[in-house]
Amino acid sequence: MGSSCGWAGKVLRVDLSSGEIEAESLDREWAKKYVGGSCFGARILFNEVPPEVSALSPDNVIILSQGPLSGTLSPASSRCEMTAKSPMSGIISRSNVGGNFGPQMKWAGYDLIIIKGQADKPVYLWIEDDNVELRDASHLWGQDVWATDRLLRESNRAVGTDIATLVIGPGGENLSLAACVMNGLARALAAGSPGAVWGSKRLKAIMLRGNKGVNIARPAEFLQLCQELRKSLETDPMYDSVREWGTIGWVGSALSRSPSGKHQTGGVRMEGIEEKGFEPLVEKHLACHGCPLHCSHFLNVKEGKYKGTRGEGLEGFVQVFGLNWKTNSAPFLTQYNNLCNQLGLSNSSVGPAITWAMELYKRGIISKEDTGGIEVTEGNEEAILELTRQMAYREGFGDVLADYPAGAAQKVGRGSEMFAAHNKGFHTYGFSPGIATSLHYTLGHNVATRGFDHLTGGTSLFAPDVRAEWGITRELLAKIGQERYGDATLFTGDPWAKEPRWARVVYDQENMMMMADITGICKFATKFNLIVSGMDLSIFAQIVTAATGEDFTADDLAKTAERELLIERAYNNREGKRRLDDYPFFLWWQLKYGKPNPMFNHEQLPLKKENYDAVLDEYYRLRGCDLKTAIPTRARLEELGLEDVADSLEEYASLETGEAATRS
């Protein structure tokens, strides 16, 4: 790539089977077309992992990528992406992590690290700038994440302390589908079983240090934009709560206080896992590289049953599982979070699996004979921790749960699949019909290309009365509706009505949120979270232009986001996914099997199929997808310069003709 700004300029390829390591230049025109991060990953996965490659085979690839803003002075510029084929869902796995790995990767000189093959014995990859080598990790195999990180740092102490690590634990080694890849001790590449992909390749860790820094094309302009953005973020109504509590506040605690949360707990408010429950545990706030939000915490349990439990965390979804499990204890959730981190398990995948087991146990579908004597009852903290451990080592009933959702339901049988809620093979957050707090938020979850996901096109803040205590009032929503969509009532009326314009809301959110993943920015600094003053496509365009020296407009970046989303959709289409797979679980079940799932009372659910269909049709029109099949049309793909993707779809999936899809 020659002299490079924003981008590091190099691609590192590693073949674990042969031991070959090769660095190549990043093509600048290719970089301008796909920009970085998750779009780089999607493009390479589509090219290099066809449908005949299984997720746990040596031919699957691990693609680590970061964007042109990662490792810069831009606020929240810490993110790194991993893309692969998912062992859980069989479609694209795209996960994202903060911390320091993405910046260190940029400073070492790499935009992409692509790893394929399978090592003969456990290895780890050492990278310090141009010095790259595979090293024996036999002594690390079997160690948990925390021990591995410590041993790696001790053995490389002479290099210094400013080192980033990615590590798998026993979960990845044993190919648990809940396995993640940990950045340091507490941050995870988690969605879609990335840890199992690493384990299948016998890749225990990557240790990386970068010393090259990053060049900025227009430094004075870039610095001014970053300073202005930091000041602007501080004006958002969500800013103070995010800095103080992160998702512990506006996700977990808000849900606990909501009617939905109280319904989950039988009308009981669980204050022990709200802010006041965690307040005595907080020792300090923590932040990823370059982030003014510092939304994480270091927690220390000073008394009681879990005294001595210390570590960073935790995300609000852990509180959601606390509601599901009826475990009204912040110290317990801290212990659970730590255990997942140590074992290299995604707490967001372990949680739904154990929630499913509790539901089966309560209904008598499984018993202590199935679980090895464990009473999988609500509130049983010891059972939850033991099943978590078993999932990492594939022991006892944990060997069943390690294959949740589809594989676990297949092993248990007895109608258990009716409770194993998923979208495209990726689990929901628990026993759920697959809906969220509004029709548009439900649509965003279920059209997401990696399966049920709030981080692809999440619109949680647009539902009335859900985040009012954080300043997202009906008055503010009316103002946003008027300013952005010309209708003050768009977000203040019935959130489940037939409103096709909600497709445009999801479409816009997806483009903006994908640009965060493409450029290396945390979504918490965007309008996903800071709904008034967070980053949007126009801000991204200004900062990426100043960083790279290439002139990008908001429309240019919207097209880049569309390229990624349609490449990912096309990848899933090649794997057999169609319109059916964009429905929430209860409707997917009804359409697939021709009868309602008896576990859900359709009359009591707020979402009606005809309303969802109307908004889904409009979403397909906006994205340029066939209304019957959900496959991107050749015309739309060619408009985005993706002719080869259209050719591949014709080869593997045969583009079907239906009602013409047009982009409006």
In a domain, 432, yes or no: no
Do 294 and 187 reside in the same domain of the chain? no
DSSP 569-627: HHHHHHTT--GGGGS-HHHHHHHHHSS--TTS-TTTSS--HHHHHHHHHHHHHHHTB-T
**Count of Cβ atoms closer than 10 Å to residue 336 Cβ:** 28
Cα-flanking dihedrals φ and ψ of residue 411, to 5°?
-70, -40
Q: Of 355, 386, 412, at which residue does a domain stop? A: 412
Q: Cβ neighbours of residue 541 under 8 Å, at least 6 residues apart?
A: 552, 553, 554, 556, 557
Cβ burial, residue 49 (10 Å; 0-12/13-18/19+) = buried
Nearest residue to 567 (alpha-carbon basis) of 97, 27, 91: 91
Note the pLDDT of residue 255: 79
Domain that holds residue 169: 10-209
Domain membership flag for residue 260 = no
Pairing relation of β-strands 422-423 and 426-427?
A: antiparallel
Q: How many CB atoms lie within 10 A of CB 283?
A: 11
Q: Are 374 and 387 in contact (CB under 8 A)?
A: yes
Which residues are within 8 A (CB) of 175 and not within 5 positions of it... i.e. 6 or more apart? 56, 87, 196, 199, 200, 394, 402
- Asked if 184 and 300 sit in the same domain, the reply is no
Within 13 Å, how many C-alpha atoms sit on residue 127's CB side?
30
What pLDDT was estimated at residue 655? 45
Domain membership of residue 42 (yes or no) is yes
What's the DSSP call for residue 347? H
Residue with tokens 């289409």: 573
Residue 83 lies in a domain: yes
- Residue partners of 147: CB distance under 8 A and separation at least 6: none
pLDDT value for 464 = 85
In the prediction, which pLDDT does 664 show?
32
**Contact at 8 Å (CB) between 552 and 594?**
no
Supply 475's token pair.
Answer: 């008055």
For residue 637, give every residue at least 6 positions away whose Cβ sits within 8 Å of its Cβ, in sequence order, or none: 566, 570, 624, 643, 645, 646, 649
Assess if residue 391 is contained within a domain. Answer: yes
The single residue listed with the structure tokens 């009826």 is: 326
Q: What are phi and psi of 619, to 5 degrees?
A: -60, -45
SS3 of residue 209 by DSSP? strand
* Complete DSSP assignment for 88-137: TTSSEEEEEE-TTHHHHHHHHT-SEEEEES--SS-EEEEEETTEEEEEE-
Asked if residue 162 and residue 307 are part of one domain, the reply reads no
Indicate if 164 and 18 belong to the same structural domain.
Answer: yes
Alpha carbon distance 308, 311 (integer Å): 10
Residues 202 and 336 in one domain: no
H, E, C per residue of 620-655 = HHHHCECCCCCCECHHHHHHCCCHHHHHHHHHHCCC
Strand duo 92-97 + 80-85: pairing: antiparallel
Rounded to 5 degrees, what angle do the CA atoms 13, 19, 52 make?
A: 65
pLDDT at position 662, please? 38
CA distance 602 to 589: 12
Contact 211, 128 (CB under 8 A): yes
390 residue type, one letter: Q
**Domains contained in the chain, number:** 2
Backbone φ and ψ of 501, nearest 5°: -65, -20
Identify whether 542 is part of a domain: no
Confidence (pLDDT) at 262? 65
Tokens (6 digits) for 373: 């004597």
Is-contact 106 146, C-beta < 8 A?
no
Q: Cα–Cα distance between 394 and 196 in angstroms, integer? A: 12
Query: Do the beta carbons of residue 405 and residue 192 sit within 8 Å?
Result: no
Backbone angles phi, psi at 416, to 5 degrees: -65, -20
> What CATH number does residue 125 fall under?
3.60.9.10
Is residue 472 assigned to a domain? no
- 3-state class (DSSP) for residue 25: strand
Residues in the chain: 664
Pair 279, 187 in one domain: no
- 17 and 131, same domain (yes or no): yes
Return the pLDDT at 158: 65
Do 328 and 272 meet the contact criterion of CB atoms below 8 Å apart?
yes
Domain boundary among 359, 379, 412: 412
Strand partners, 64: 82, 113
C-alpha closest to that of 566 among 43, 4, 32, 93: 43
Within-domain flag for 247: no
Tokens of 427: 């689990």
- Are residue 81 and residue 162 in the same domain, yes or no? yes
Token pair for 460: 């949680």
What are φ and ψ of residue 177, in 5° steps? -75, -5
Q: Supply 490's token pair.
A: 């768009």
Final residue belonging to a domain, choices 175, 194, 209: 209
d(CA 437, CA 458): 11
For residue 343, the domain's CATH number is: 1.10.569.10
Task: Tell me: do 130 and 271 sit in the same domain.
Answer: no
Task: State whether 183 and 274 are in the same domain.
Answer: no
The SS3 call for residue 282 is strand
Residues 272 and 143 in one domain: no
DSSP letter for 250, please: I
Same-domain pairing of 274 and 358: yes
The 10 Å Cβ neighbour count of residue 654 is: 9
Pick from 383, 481, 495, 491: which is nearest to 442 by CA? 495
Q: How much of the chain is in helix, strand and coil states, percent to nearest 5?
A: 45, 15, 40
Low-confidence ranges of the chain (pLDDT < 70): 1-3, 158, 262-263, 653-664
Q: Compute the distance between CA of residue 157 and CA of residue 395 in angstroms, rounded to an integer.
A: 36
